[in-house]
């Protein structure tokens, strides 16, 4: 099976909902471990719309978890406890995402 890509696009709706234009990195959590992944910002095709990709550190996350082309990652923004609370950060201001992976081979999901 082919290796996973060196970067992963962040959907515009997700990045806008979580303020990714102002963020430099995120923390991915899965299987009791954490990976810091830097965000790379590029100009989008539409005016005033930046595009963000998970870049530096994404390859390490993929390699550590045996990800390959065809595997599907689900990202969930962790929320603080309490009504109307915001997204969780790691204490350094970095956004924390819980990741679940469904392997293309149909194996049990990784969480």
Domain range list for the chain? 8-102
Which CATH architecture does the domain made up of 8-102 adopt? Beta Barrel (2.40)
| pLDDT the model gives residue 74 | 93
Q: What is the pLDDT of residues 48-66, one digit of tens each?
A: 667 788 999 999 999 999 9
75-101 burial: b if 16+ Cβ within 10 Å, else e: beeeeeeeeeeeebeeeeebbbbebeb
Q: What is the pLDDT of residues 16-29, one digit of tens each?
A: 888 777 788 889 99
Q: Could you tell me the pTM of the whole model? A: 0.78
Of residues 69, 66, 58, 64, the one with CA closest to residue 2: 69
Helices (H), the chain: 12-17, 58-64
Q: Computed from CA positions of residues 76, 82, 87, 93, in that sequence, does the dihedral angle turn out positive or negative? A: negative
């Amino acid at each position: 099976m082919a290796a996973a890509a060196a970067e992963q696009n962040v959907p515009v709706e997700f990045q806008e909902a979580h303020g990714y234009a102002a963020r430099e990195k995120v923390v991915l959590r899965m299987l009791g471990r954490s990976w810091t992944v830097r965000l790379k910002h590029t100009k989008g095709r539409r005016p005033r719309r930046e595009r963000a990709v998970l870049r530096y550190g994404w390859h390490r996350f993929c390699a550590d978890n045996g990800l390959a082309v065809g595997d599907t990652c689900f990202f969930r923004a962790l929320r603080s406890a309490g009504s109307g609370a915001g997204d969780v950060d790691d204490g350094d201001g970095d956004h924390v995402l819980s990741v679940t992976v469904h392997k293309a081979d149909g194996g049990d999901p990784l969480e």
